[in-house]
Chains A and B, each alone.
Chain A
Amino acid sequence: MSDETTALTVLFTEFYYWVMIVLMFLIKVGFCVYEVAVSRYKNRMHTLMQVTMHIPLVTLGFFFFGWWIYFAFSNGPGITGGLISAPWALPWSELMGPHLGGPPASDALTADDTATWSRLNGVFWGAFLLFSWTVAAIVSSATIERIRSNAFWILAVLIGSFLWIIDASWGWHPDGWMVQKLGYHDAYASGVIHAIAGGFSLGVLIPLGQRIGRFRPDGTARDIPPHDPWFATVGLFIIFTGFWGFYAACNVPMIDIQAGEGVSFSSTNIYLGPTTLSAITFNFLLSLTGGFLAGYLISRGDPFWTYSCALAGVISASAGNDLYHPLQAMFIGAAGAVIAYKMHYWVENRFKIDDGVGAVAVHGYAGCFGVIIAGFVLWGYPASPNPDYAVITPWGQIGGAFIMFFVLGFFPAFIVANIMKKFGVLRIPEAIEIKGMDVGQDIAAEHAATVIADAERSYEAAHPTGG
């Protein structure tokens, strides 16, 4: 980097994404606290490991092929159009490691590739990886207390390292085919993260089945309360905090957006369309507000659902939060929260779906609503700075929501989870489910406590005057 403007832009961008990765880490912390608190005491440690160990497993998948998919699969529609060359994202590329940007050692790369990607590849990869963890954690929360760890981790890799990054390549890339052809707009991932995660969760929940005792013989649902309701809400609060990083990581912080002559630096959304950090600060907070207010009323002050509805509020407004007025974001957030809450209970009662935390509703239904409502509110807006691409329309967004929820979410999950069920590797044995997934650890802990108590008594007997 020989000139100061380029150096400032690149080094600021590198630092910006690095900080966002740290902030997004809080989403994982929040999920760990939340899921452990929501699960019953007898399942707490297995739940913790379930939501923890997909981190390294999804990370490896995303290093080996996920990052390359993002660049390679943008042509379409669907799987047509051929692959795009992205040598900087291949796992054996020298740019998938520490690099100062000098001439490439490999013929597969150009000097432009190394100059562009040497300082940005790692932080971009990391930011997208944190989105991958999020999408997998959403599925984890829906399936708690009865899925086998191994089955969940395979499903986590399927969505976290493979399926979601296909949808990002199609609809969350400046040149993705959904952006070009459908005018798909989803600035903060109502569809590309949340709708796909909700659809995928539903596709797993149907073959997985309900937890034992979740429904009465007459078909009405029994509540399974969190073992620690206070910590469940703390976990959600921590997720809100991490969401700031999630939002900011969806932006490009500093780039020349002036077409043709002249220079004008701004932040942009992921499609390189202009927006500002102020815009998303307004809209994040107002959509959170709408969700909180509506959630409190509709759930009659239930803490768990009030917090969940706040999250649904943000998710509902996320597709257009780069461009909405803050009060539009608030109204959309409130409507999305009501839809998520009502849909959760309707689906639960109608289809006997046991979603441990309402993840399908908060992420899936609110996410789809968010994508679709953006098509109406932003109808006619450019989806991209490229004037040749389609503009935002309701039908483009409805098609996009269908692709996210069903094509890349529900259907693949339903097929793979049914195959796992057929081989008996999807669900834990009934006896374990009844006694609790931590039964082995609890028996061992009880035994250890007895042994140490015996040892203490023996010591006391041998040293009667001791202490």
Chain B
Amino acid sequence: MKIESWAGDIADIGAIYPLGGEAIMVVIGVVLWIAWFVIQARMENREYEEEISQMSDE
């Protein structure tokens, strides 16, 4: 549902964002939020491994 006009009784207007799909966006958001932690943990592990390897090369 979209707002197509501001004419009429303002008191009848509820949500003003393009309504619909909120639950799906929440699910996608939660999955991406958790995925971020997983990806970051791998990045951090790799970073430490590389740094330790660089230090031992020096």
Contact = CB atoms under 8 A, between A and B. Distances in A.
Contact of B12 (A97, A102, A154): A102
A257 interface: no
A435 B58 CA distance: 13
Contacts of B55: 431, 435, 439
Interface in A418-433: 425, 428-429, 431-432
Interface string B24-57: 0110011001001100110010011011101100
Interface of B: 1, 10-17, 19, 22-23, 25-26, 29-30, 33, 36-37, 40-41, 44, 47-48, 50-52, 54-55
A100 B16 contact: yes
Interface of A: 2, 57, 60-61, 63-64, 91-94, 96-105, 114, 118, 148-150, 153-154, 425, 428-429, 431-432, 435, 439-440, 443
A150 B10 CA distance: 47
Contacts of B15: 94, 97-99, 105
B52 A431 contact: yes
A173 B22 CA distance: 28
8 contacts: A64-B26, A64-B33, A91-B22, A94-B15, A100-B16, A428-B48, A435-B55, A440-B50
A135 B41 CA distance: 23
Contacts of B36: 57
The 7 closest A-B pairs by CB, nearest first: A102-B14, A92-B22, A94-B15, A92-B23, A150-B41, A440-B51, A100-B13
Contact of A429 (B30, B33, B48): B48
A57 B1 CA distance: 30
Contacts of A150: 37, 40-41, 44
A105 B1 contact: yes
A230 B10 CA distance: 54
Nearest to B52: A431
Interface residues of B, dominant DSSP: helix
A112 B40 CA distance: 43
A91 B22 CA distance: 8
Contact of B26 (A92, A98, A101, A114): A92
Nearest to A425: B41
Contacts of A439: 51, 54-55
A232 B57 CA distance: 36
A425 B45 CA distance: 9
Nearest to B40: A150
Contacts, number: 84
Contacts of A98: 15-17
Nearest to A93: B22
A102 B13 contact: yes
Contacts of B37: 57, 150, 153-154
A91 B25 CA distance: 9
B12 A432 contact: no
Contacts of B23: 92
A140 to B, nearest CB: 16
Given A102-B12, A149-B44, A432-B48, 17 more contacts: A57-B36, A60-B33, A93-B22, A96-B22, A97-B22, A98-B15, A98-B16, A103-B12, A104-B14, A105-B1, A105-B15, A105-B19, A148-B44, A149-B40, A432-B51, A440-B47, A440-B54
A94 B22 contact: yes
B26 A103 contact: no
Contacts of A57: 33, 36-37
Nearest to A96: B22
Residue in A94, A114, A154 whose Cβ sees the most chain B Cβ within 10 Å: A94
B11 A2 contact: yes
A249 to B, nearest CB: 26
A57 to B, nearest CB: 7
Contacts of B51: 432, 435, 439-440, 443
Contacts of B54: 439-440, 443
A284 to B, nearest CB: 36
A105 B48 contact: no
A269 to B, nearest CB: 32
Contacts of A118: 14
B57 to A, nearest CB: 10
Contacts of A63: 29
B1 to A, nearest CB: 7
B21 to A, nearest CB: 9
B49 to A, nearest CB: 9
